[in-house]
Amino acid sequence: MDDAALLKQASRGGEAEFCELFDRYQARLYQYASRMCGVSAADDIVQETFMSVLRAAHFDESKGGVTAYLFGIARHHVIRRLSERGLIMDPCDERRMDVAAIQDSPFDVIARKQGVVALRQAVDSLPPLFREVIILCDLQEMDYAKVAEVIQCPVGTIRSRLHRARKQLAAKLAPDVPSDP
């Protein structure tokens, strides 16, 4: 059964379809939520996303696919969590990019010398709007159009943010290399 049919059946109370949809998307949604809000909030965000599907899902295939729909719901919960922390994230407004990133844990500080950990920390230190496009485009491997659907911004905005995010990551991972302002 394709994702759209699963979603429709799950929103009508189909338990088996809901379980299948959950199995297909839980890990990807968890990864997105944990990278945006931290591991402590990720399970709750995934649960809230799927509870939204059960409550009153109004999925319209003409507006995009199931992936964009579910990530859009998860994004709504991510934005709410970040707002509660004072980290405001306006979908298309990059003027408020000076917000704080997720705090490093003591373990991350100790393991900073390892390549994977260094990259993870660099991503976590990006402002939420830049971190989000890196997570969706590079980690979730979504194309620009799908990310634009999730974030509800023009594709050009996604490309611009991704370019700027990658440039910031490069500067963070190679601090001795001078970067352009």
120-162: pLDDT as tens digits:
888 888 998 899 999 898 888 888 999 998 888 899 999 999 9
- Per the model's pLDDT, the better-predicted residue between 167 and 106 turns out to be 167
54: pLDDT confidence band, cut at 50, 70 and 90?
A: confident
Cα separation, 175 vs 169, in Å, equals 10
Closest CA to 37 of 73, 98, 92, 83: 83
Residue 38 backbone zone (phi > 0: left; psi -120 to 50: alpha; other: beta) = left
Cα separation, 108 vs 104, in Å, equals 6
86: pLDDT confidence band, cut at 50, 70 and 90?
A: confident
Backbone angles phi, psi at 91, to 5 degrees: -50, -35
Provide the token pair at 49: 């996303």
Per-residue burial over 108-136, b if 16 or more Cβ lie within 10 Å, else e, is: beeeeeeeebeebbbbbbbbbbbbbbbbb
pLDDT at residue 15 tops 80: yes
pLDDT mean over 83-95: 61
pLDDT mean over 12-27: 90
Domain with CATH 1.10.1740.10 in the chain: 1-86
Domain with CATH 1.10.10.10 in the chain: 97-176
Tell me which fold the domain 1-86 belongs to. Answer: Rna Polymerase Sigma Factor; Chain: A (1.10.1740)
Q: Give the right CATH number for 97-176 from 3.30.9.10, 1.10.3720.10, 3.30.1330.40, 1.10.10.10.
A: 1.10.10.10
68: pLDDT confidence band, cut at 50, 70 and 90?
A: confident
